[in-house]
Every structure is written in structure tokens, then in C-alpha cells.
Amino acid sequence: MNKKIIVPISAVLLLAVGLIWFFNQRRSDLTDELQANLSGEKTGVLANSNYSEEIQSFYAGREYMEVWLFNGTLSKTGKEMLAQIENSKYDGLQPEDYNLAKIYELSSNQEKENKKFRNLSSEEKVNLELLLTDSFFNLAHDLEKGKVNPSSLDPNWKFEEKETDVNYTGLLEKVANGSSVEKTLASLYPNSDLYAHGREAIEELYKIQKNDTLTWDFAKVDGAIKVGEKHEAIPALRKRLIFWDVLKPYETSDPSLFDSTMFAGLQKYQESNGMNPDGVIGSLVAESLNNSPQNLIDIASINMERLRWMPKMDWNQEMVLVNIANYQLDYMNNSDTAFTAKVIVGKEYNESPTFTAPMSYIVFSPYWNIPESITNDEIIPSVQKNPNYLSQKNMEVVDGSGEVVKASQVNLSKETGYRVRQKPGGDNSLGLVKFMFPNDYNIYIHDTPARSLFDRETRALSHGCIRIQNPDQFAKILLNDKSWDDEKIQKAMNQTNEEVVKLDREIPVVLVYMTFWADKKGKANFRSDVYERDQSLLKALRSKKSSLDQA
């Protein structure tokens, strides 16, 4: 036979033998063991998995071929999955929730950072394969919907439940067919830049933590420490300002003295953390500086979970975003902030809820229709002490049809069908304008006559509604109409009768409670937990899977 023909035939035969050997190697590695494990009674990984049926169905559909292992050890895909479990801490999640400890137990070098998986028995290989698959399902769920069910934890979370049609088995099939594990799981992140920036900030905090855990405490600060004064907490506070890089190391003749150099650093720290940069060390500053990197990681983790709870929305659309914890309103358009204002939010016992609703109209020179609860708790007792209270406060009584009646002819504490309202004017509790986004919670944005309150650092002072600074500027940007100039707006705000102006489009108003977020530059921002909502969420987030989990 011609040698030129023999060589190609030999090559083809070798290739065929090689392919047969390869597929036999792949099939003979774990196929039989996986089928035996998954076809009988649920034991081991399956017995403890919330996704046992999905796991069984997935492997049956691929004839029990493994995904994460190759020739008895982790494949490239398996190593990528393990990395995603380890990196789930940057999402504010616990890698231990995704079988990390059990996976590490199977490694041949448990003490080293870069884990190897060699000389595993058939049983160990099956366990490793199924642990990683169970981890994929659980991590996919928690990244997409959150680990904790908000309706079981936070009664003030009023957003609609996040709708999803994601098929986790379908995602795993893509990975099994060669898709990147990292990109597949990243596709489940909330569609907000806040989340991506948050992950970067948490990763940076873990790097900072390696430098210093900052678990050391300092002397308690009661009252306020002003520049020029001495206090035993000053040396530690100075070290913390240096650690956070708002103050450069310097020599000081008296470490306990709050000197001018430290004063400038403190102002810089206050400004970057949303505080009034007055250079005074009060309880809020001391509380903030006392946070260790782990405390900050915990706070960030809590808010990453809140982002995962959020229903899908277009963050590039025109919207009004109110962060209750930051006491701030931002008018956004195409992800740019076109207007910012300080706000006053509900008191601790009148917490402003978190929800979204469309703003549709503005009311200039509004009446304040006083809620029944305020009438009963505040107005009636005041009238009983002072019969002239209503007239002094520019208030009147109206019947069910809105007709004004003489207050002297109505016993508000006994008769029903009547309500009290405050007439338009400078002393009206709603101020000179209100912005309406009808909702089930009777929450709206409005002006206030008590404008000096905006100078306060902590502004949880209202009955639940949102009071806004510079409401005339806000009205102008919402109306977006040249005919509504400054003069016309001021005139509308100072009438004796209210005027309702319908907007030419509906603008989503989103009320959130975020005690952490990271900006476009990756800078982490932290705010005080004024409503004390963080601790209960942290406890649930750091616990093992529980009744608070979503099904």
C-alpha cells in the first residue's frame, strides 16, 4: 500500500482511539457513582439540599456526567465555581452558606490558601461534585432575590416583591456547556451601578482589614470635645483619622490635646461621611470612628441585601430618589443628579416606609388635611385647654362634603364625620407647596415653615412625610416649563386658596433606606442607622439558613 495513504489512515485511527479513550475516561470517571447516588434514597448532600429535585433532574438530563471535576480533581470550571463561593463575601454573603467548609474538608492541603483536590475516593468525588452543584443553586438564588425574605423581617419594606422568571437549572446547563461561572452569576446581580460599586467597596474593606482590624476601643465620649480641649480619647481618635487617611501622621507635644491639625482632619472626615463639618467630636463622630473594618463590612453587607430585594427598575429613567438614612433627596435623569436637597424624615416612632410610587401633581398653597391620629392625639387636647387654639393656628373644621362649619358647634372628641384642616399660609405645617405621589401610606413630599431644622445633622423629625428644603427649586425642575418661572412659582406658593397643577408626565418616586452605598469613584459612604433597622437584618444575614429564607 502506498505510504502516502498509510500515514493519513494511521492518523485517523489514532485520533479515533484517542477520542474513544477520552469519552470513556469522562464517562467512566463518575457517571456510575453519580447515577447510583442520585437515583436511590436521598442521602448526603441531597438530604440537606433545598434543591434536591432540581439536582436530580439536572444530572439525569445529562446522563450523569459531572460538571466540576475532571480526572478526579477540580476542573477549570470547578475552580471557578469555588472562587465564586469564596468571593461571595464581596456580595455581603457568607461563603459558609455555600458549603465552603465541607468543600475545604475534601482538599488535600487544607492548611494552604490555594486548595488542591487529589487522591479522592469515589465517594469524596461525588460529594465534591454535588456540594458545588448545591452551592451553585443556593448562591444563584441569594444573588438574585436575597438570602432573607424582607416581608418576614422589615414591616416598613413596602416595595412589591421582586418578580423573576430565572431558571437556575438553565443557568447551570449553560455553565456545563462552557459558559463562565463568574459571568453567569454576575448576570443575576441587581441592575444598578450601586451594586457593582458596592462590591468593589467591600473588597477594598477586606484589604483594609488585613492592614488593621481596628478592634481596639477608645475612651467613651460624653457630650462634645471642641478644638483646644483635652480628652483621654483623643490619641486613639487621632490614630483612627490617620488610619482612614484624612490625617497625615505628625508630631504632637500633648497627645491628649485636640489641636488644630486634628481639627482640619476631623472636618474632612465629617464632610466625607455626610456629617456637619463643624470640627466638633460628638457622639455621632465617635460612633462612626469607633467602627472597625468588620463593622463597616457588616453595614455594607446589609445594604447589598437591600439592593437584592429591590424590584427591577430602570435606574436611568427620570426619577426622584429619597434616601431616608441620608436625609437627602436627589432628582435623577439619565443617572445624573440634576437637583439635590436636604430632607426631614419621620421620627423613630413615625418611621418613613420604603416604597415607590409615581408623582403626578403638585399642590401650591395647600390645605393641610390633618390625619385623624394627629387630631385625636394633639389637636383635641389642645382645643380642650385653649378654645381659641384652632383660630390661632389658622385651622378650621369641615364636614364630610368639605364644607366649613363653626368649630364651636362641633364636639370633635365625640362627633364623627368631621375633620380639621389648616388653611394655606406661611404657618401651614405643609409649608407653601406639596408634591403628590398617591400611595397607601399617605406619604408625600412637602415644604415646611420650620426651615431652621434643615441645619440639624439628624433630621428624623416629621410624622412620616418627607419635608424638603428649597421646594420652589424642586417645583421648577419638575414642571420643566418656561412659563413656570420663579415669579410665577412664588405667586402660586403664596395664595389664599390651593392650586393643583398636574404634571405632564408621571415621575417615579423611590424611597430607600440605605446606611451604605458606594459612589462612581468607589468611595464608600456610611450613615447612622437612625431607625435601628440594620441589626435585625444583620442577624438574619449572618445566621444559617432559617425560616426567614425565601422558598
Per-residue model confidence as pLDDT tens for the chain (551 residues): 555 555 555 555 555 544 444 444 444 478 999 999 998 888 889 999 999 999 999 999 999 999 999 988 999 999 999 999 999 999 999 999 999 999 999 988 877 778 888 889 999 999 999 999 999 999 999 999 999 999 888 899 999 988 888 999 999 999 999 999 999 999 999 988 999 999 999 999 999 888 877 776 677 888 899 999 999 999 999 998 998 889 999 999 999 999 999 999 999 999 888 888 999 998 888 888 888 899 999 999 999 999 999 999 999 999 999 999 999 999 999 888 999 999 999 998 789 999 999 999 999 999 999 988 899 999 999 999 999 999 999 999 999 888 999 988 888 888 889 999 999 999 999 999 999 999 999 999 999 999 999 999 889 999 889 999 999 999 999 999 999 999 999 999 999 999 999 999 999 999 999 999 998 888 899 999 999 999 999 999 999 864 334 44
Q: CA-to-CA distance for 333 and 317, rounded, in angstroms?
A: 6
Q: What are phi and psi of 526, to 5 degrees?
A: -125, 140
CA gap 267, 281 in Å, rounded: 10
Residue 14: per-residue pLDDT: 57
Element (H, E) at 468: strand 466-468
Contact 355, 347 (CB under 8 A): no
Side-chain-side CA neighbours of 366 within 13 Å: the count stands at: 23
SS3 of 501, please? strand
Using only the alpha carbons of the chain, give its radius of gyration: 31
Dist CA 174 CA 469 (whole Å): 51
68 closest CA partner among 56, 60, 78, 83: 78
Q: So what's the pLDDT on residue 42?
A: 84
pLDDT of residue 20: 45
What separation, in Å, do the N-terminal and C-terminal C-alpha atoms of the chain show? 69
What's residue 22's pLDDT?
Answer: 45
C-alpha cell belonging to residue 119:
487522591
For residue 285, what are the CA distances in angstroms to 13, 213, 508?
77, 19, 34
Number of Cβ atoms within 10 Å of the Cβ of 460: 20
CA pair distance 229, 253, nearest whole angstrom: 14
Unique residue bearing C-alpha cell 468588620 = 294
Single-letter amino acid, residue 193: D
Dist CA 545 CA 93 (whole Å)? 12
At residue 23, the pLDDT reads: 45
Q: What is the pLDDT of residue 546?
A: 43
Question: Are 305 and 92 in contact, with CB atoms under 8 Å apart?
Answer: yes
- How many angstroms separate the CA atoms of 150 and 353, rounded? 13
Q: Is 42 left (phi over 0), alpha (psi -120 to 50) or beta?
A: beta
Copy the grid coordinates of residue 31: 457517571
CA distance 127 to 133: 10
Which is nearest to 300 in space by CA: 164, 181, 208, 188? 208
Contact present, 286 and 273 (Cβ < 8 Å): no
CA dihedral 30, 35, 38, 39 (to 10 degrees): -170
Distances (CA, A) of 483 to 192, 442, 480: 35, 31, 9
DSSP type of residue 496:
S
H helices present in 146-192, as ranges = 168-176, 181-186
How far is it, in rounded angstroms, from Cα 467 to Cα 444?
8
Distance CA 120, CA 86 (A): 22
CB-CB neighbours of 281 under 10 Å: 25
Q: Are 412 and 335 in contact (CB under 8 A)?
A: no
| The pLDDT value given to residue 550 | 43
- In this prediction the pTM is 0.87
C-alpha cell read off for 518? 458606594
- CA dist 264 and 260 (Å) reads 6
State the Cα–Cα distance between residues 542 and 551, nearest whole angstrom: 18
- Between CA 374 and CA 329 the distance in angstroms is 26
- Output the pLDDT for position 547: 36
Using the 8-state DSSP alphabet, how is residue 311 labeled?
A: P
Name residue, grid cell 442607622: 529
Q: Exposed, middle or buried, 49 (CB in 10 Å: 0-12/13-18/19+)?
A: buried
Please report where in the chains the cell 386658596 appears, as a residue: 497
Distance between CA atoms of residues 281 and 57, nearest Å: 61
Q: Can you list the positions of beta strands (E) in 46-198? A: 69-70, 73-74
